[in-house]
């Protein structure tokens, strides 16, 4: 299989979500995705990897090998895990420069923009910021 | 006063008064169960807001012109309506604030000035952050000691422990009348008597009680009672601090500015009398007037019937939720109001709240600004359904069905 670009990955997610005609079906799918999230190892759930949301805590680990970044994460809330799963699917195995300049527009395209609002406070905003901060560390000067 | 015979409470008729309840969310009829956070507004309040800004908008207390005088009269009439609604002795004892939080901060800043190092303030383990943090700040500023009376697992104050913590050193008991998270109704009249017996003053946080029961500040004998308009079917941004006149008179002003002074020179300023001493600057005029409208609306309905209806809703919902495996109701006080907080084994409240939202049901999830209480129960948060008199049994049936569906999806 040819390697997908970030853009193609986002488009693929959008077309997957287009198959669902109601909100509950979309969320059912998100919950399933949450169950498949590449989980962060328990011993890596440290304060440095913790993103405090108001409602559910999120942990993120970033690794850098062969010029590409790999992420694993966990959250107390399964819907949040599902959304993180989508984020990781889009950003995993990409180089830091690409991650930094990517506009993650699939989130609003599939109708999940409410999870990005600061009032939602589920850690997703902090999560994206954290991913980009991690990417910044590995930028090749 | 002559008792007006009111039409018996009828939930169908009441609902007609609240336009916000007639809308669809994600294609489903809205079920609004977040009344603990804020209540919806009746048409008569919406009309009053519109009327004020369309025709009556003017600044108050100083204008010589017609509109200013009319607005002043209406604002002061609203104060009187609120005075009678809570049975205060005088309108001067009704101070307009921004809301409950503002009222508590006012008391902490101003009454706090009368306290000295070593004095104690007593609160309970079920307080909202608004009735914790202002006291912590005051304690830091003045070297006071904050004491916390514990609760049992049902969510009731442990009165024996309270009695031990209450002492001659206690200068203020600041306690919630009804817990926003648990629904517990505290025996505030009895606690007030005990506090007075040791010489302490009493502040009641009425944010969750004003809309659920008849409040009589004379009968309760509290020194301060604070509440927000927006939880009482009125506008946001306005609330009330009731205080006993002699105490308010002894307290220094809270904020300085226009309206709160009687004479200003660069050397010396003398302050206005009550209630204006505590109302610096242009107040939320429309808010005050329309809170008066809301109080008028409540005076016109059978509140005993409404309260009985809320009680039935709560019992009905608790009875249905009790059958769910793994679901725990947090807050099972013998004396409680229309709040149901719950957790479900292995499921985060955020997930349930999100799925309920997608089914058109508005609930609150999280710690409800009571983190110490969450720590006590060792939970990250709860899902909270809080009912108002305009909610129905049919809505509870749909809610319980939606909770079941959500749990099945999340398991």
Residue B153 placed within a domain: yes
B306 in the same domain as B293? no
Q: For A82-120, what is each residue's pLDDT tens digit?
A: 988 999 999 999 999 999 999 999 988 998 877 766 555
Arithmetic mean of pLDDT, A51-79:
87
B351 vs A23, A57, A79: nearest CB: A79
Question: A113 and chain B: CB distance < 8 Å anywhere?
Answer: no
Look up the CATH number of the domain holding residue B197.
Answer: 3.40.640.10
B310 in the same domain as B293? no
Q: Which of A56, A83, A119 to mutate to test the interface with B (most CBs of B within 10 A)?
A: A56
Rounded to the nearest 5 percent, the helix, strand and coil shares of chain A are 50, 15, 35
The whole-angstrom distance between residue B100's C-alpha and the CA centroid of its chain comes to 6
B259 in the same domain as B115? yes
A56 vs B348, B359, B409: nearest CB: B348
Helix A78-91 × helix A23-35 angle, to 10°: 70
Look up the CATH number of the domain holding residue B379.
Answer: 3.90.1150.10
B273 in the same domain as B131? yes
Asked if B409 and A24 come within 8 Å (Cβ–Cβ), the reply is yes
Q: For B269-310, what is each residue's pLDDT tens digit?
A: 999 999 999 999 999 999 999 999 999 999 999 999 999 999
B286 in the same domain as B406? no
What ipTM describes this predicted complex?
0.89
Q: For B365-381, what is each residue's pLDDT tens digit?
A: 988 999 999 999 999 89
B155 in the same domain as B19? no
Whether the link from the prior residue into B41 is cis, omega within 30° of 0, is no
Q: In sequence order, which residues have a C-beta less than 8 Å from that of residue B330 and are 6 or more positions away?
A: B155, B181, B182, B341, B342, B343, B377, B379, B382
Domains of chain A and any CATH numbers: 6-137 (3.90.1010.10)
> What residues does B347 pair with on adjacent strands?
B344
Question: A108 and chain B: CB distance < 8 Å anywhere?
Answer: no
Residue B192 placed within a domain: yes
Give B336→chain A minimum CA distance, Å.
26
Domain final residue pick, B270, B299, B328: B299
Specify the pLDDT at position A54.
53
Residue B307 placed within a domain: yes
Count of domains for chain B: 2
B311 in the same domain as B245? no
Please count the CA atoms within 13 angstroms of the CA of B249 that sit on its side-chain side: 4
State the pLDDT confidence band at B3, using cuts at 50, 70 and 90.
low
Q: What is the mean pLDDT of chain B?
A: 96
Residue B1 placed within a domain: no
Q: What is the 3-state secondary structure (H, E, C) of chain B?
A: CCCCCCCCCCHHHHHHCCHHHCCEECCEECEECECCCCCCCCHHHHHHHHHHHHHHCCCCCCCCCHHHHHHHHHHHHHHHHHHHHHCCCCHHHEEEECCHHHHHHHHHHHHHHHCCCCCEEEEECCCCHHHCHHHHHHHHHHCCEEEEECECCCCCECHHHHHHHCCCCEEEEEEECECCCCCEECCHHHHHHHHHHCCCEEEEECCCCCCCCCCCHHHHCCCEEEEECHHHCCCCCCEEEEECHHHHHHCCCCCCCCCCEEEECCCCEEECCCCHHHCCCCCCHHHHHHHHHHHHHHHHCCHHHHHHHHHHHHHHHHHHHCCCCCEEEECCCCCECCEEEEEECCECHHHHHHHHHHCCEECEEECCCCHHHHHHHCCCCEEEEECCCCCCHHHHHHHHHHHHHHHHHHC
Domain final residue pick, B252, B279, B299: B299
B262 in the same domain as B162? yes
Question: A56 and chain B: CB distance < 8 Å anywhere?
Answer: yes
Residue B40 placed within a domain: no
Residue B4 placed within a domain: no
Residue B183 placed within a domain: yes
B231 in the same domain as B114? yes
Residue B1 has pLDDT above 70, yes or no: no
Domain containing B352: what range?
Answer: 11-32+302-410
Question: A80 and chain B: CB distance < 8 Å anywhere?
Answer: yes
Question: A52 and chain B: CB distance < 8 Å anywhere?
Answer: no
Between CA B69 and CA A109 the distance in angstroms is 54
Domain final residue pick, B299, B325, B359: B299
> What residues does B201 pair with on adjacent strands?
B172
Arithmetic mean of pLDDT, B9-14:
97
DSSP category for residue A122: S
Residue B69 has pLDDT above 80, yes or no: yes
Q: What are phi and psi of B254, to 5 degrees?
A: -95, -60
Between CA B181 and CA B397 the distance in angstroms is 22
Between CA B294 and CA B230 the distance in angstroms is 10
Residue B202 placed within a domain: yes
Region of poorest pLDDT, from A124-128, A129-133, B314-318: A124-128
Q: Strands B28-29, B94-97: parallel, antiparallel or unpaired by DSSP?
A: unpaired
State the pLDDT confidence band at B388, using cuts at 50, 70 and 90.
very high
B260 in the same domain as B135? yes
Q: What amino acid positions of B are annotated as catalytic residues?
A: 369
Region of poorest pLDDT, from A32-41, B47-56, B124-133, B236-245: A32-41
> What residues does B270 pair with on adjacent strands?
B263
Tokens 């308009």 correspond to B229
B294 in the same domain as B192? yes
B149 in the same domain as B134? yes
Asked if B365 and A122 come within 8 Å (Cβ–Cβ), the reply is no
Q: B243 and B100 in contact (C-beta within 8 Å)? A: no
Q: How many CB pairs under 8 A join A and B?
A: 44
């Amino acid at each position: 299989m040819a390697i997908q670009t970030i853009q193609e990955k986002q488009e693929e997610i959008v077309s997957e979500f287009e198959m669902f005609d109601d909100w509950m079906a979309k969320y059912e799918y998100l919950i399933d995705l949450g169950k498949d999230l590449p989980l962060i190892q328990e011993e890596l759930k440290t304060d440095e990897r913790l993103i405090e949301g108001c409602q559910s805590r999120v942990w993120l680990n970033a690794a850098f090998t062969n010029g590409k970044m790999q992420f694993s994460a966990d959250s107390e809330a399964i819907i949040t895990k599902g959304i993180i799963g989508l984020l990781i699917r889009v950003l995993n195995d990409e180089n830091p420069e690409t991650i930094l300049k990517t506009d993650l527009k699939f989130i609003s395209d599939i109708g999940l923009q409410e999870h990005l609002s600061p009032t939602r406070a589920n850690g997703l905003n902090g999560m994206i910021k954290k991913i980009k901060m991690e990417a910044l560390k590995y930028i090749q000067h | 006063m002559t008792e007006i015979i009111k039409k018996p409470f009828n939930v169908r008729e009441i609902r007609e008064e609240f336009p916000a309840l007639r809308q669809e969310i994600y294609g489903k009829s809205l079920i609004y169960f977040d009344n603990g956070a804020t209540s919806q507004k009746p048409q008569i309040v919406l009309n009053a807001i519109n009327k004020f800004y369309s025709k009556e908008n003017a600044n108050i207390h100083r204008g010589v012109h017609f509109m200013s005088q009319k607005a002043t009269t209406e604002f002061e009439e609203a104060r009187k309506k609120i005075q009678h609604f809570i049975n205060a002795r005088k309108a001067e004892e009704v101070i307009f604030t921004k809301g409950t939080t503002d009222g508590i901060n006012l008391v902490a800043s101003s009454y706090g000035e009368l306290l000295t190092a070593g004095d104690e303030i007593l609160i309970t383990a079920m307080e909202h952050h608004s009735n914790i943090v202002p006291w912590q700040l005051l304690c830091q500023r003045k070297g006071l000691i904050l004491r916390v009376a514990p609760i049992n697992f049902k969510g009731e104050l442990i009165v024996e422990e309270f009695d031990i913590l209450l002492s001659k050193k206690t200068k203020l008991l600041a306690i919630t009348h009804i817990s926003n998270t648990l629904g517990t109704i505290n025996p505030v009249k009895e606690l007030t008597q005990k506090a007075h017996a040791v010489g302490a003053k009493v502040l009641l946080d009425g944010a969750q009680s004003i809309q659920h029961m008849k409040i009589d500040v004379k009968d309760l004998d509290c020194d301060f009672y604070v509440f927000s308009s927006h939880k009482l079917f009125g506008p946001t941004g306005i609330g009330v601090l009731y205080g006993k006149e002699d105490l308010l008179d002894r307290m220094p002003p809270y904020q300085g500015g226009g309206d709160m002074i009687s004479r200003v020179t660069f050397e010396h300023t003398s302050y206005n009398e009550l209630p204006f001493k505590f109302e610096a600057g242009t107040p939320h005029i429309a808010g005050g007037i329309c809170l008066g409208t809301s109080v008028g609306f409540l005076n016109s309905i059978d509140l005993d019937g409404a309260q009985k209806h809320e009680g039935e809703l709560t019992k009905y919902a608790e009875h249905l939720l009790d059958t769910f495996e793994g679901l725990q109701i947090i807050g099972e006080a013998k004396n409680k109001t229309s709040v149901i907080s719950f957790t479900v084994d292995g499921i985060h409240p955020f997930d349930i709240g999100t799925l309920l939202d997608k089914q058109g049901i508005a609930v609150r999830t999280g710690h409800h600004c009571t983190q110490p209480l969450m720590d006590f129960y060792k939970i990250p948060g709860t899902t909270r359904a809080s009912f108002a008199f305009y909610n129905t049994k049919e809505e509870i049936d749909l809610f319980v069905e939606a909770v079941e569906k959500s749990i099945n999806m999340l398991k």
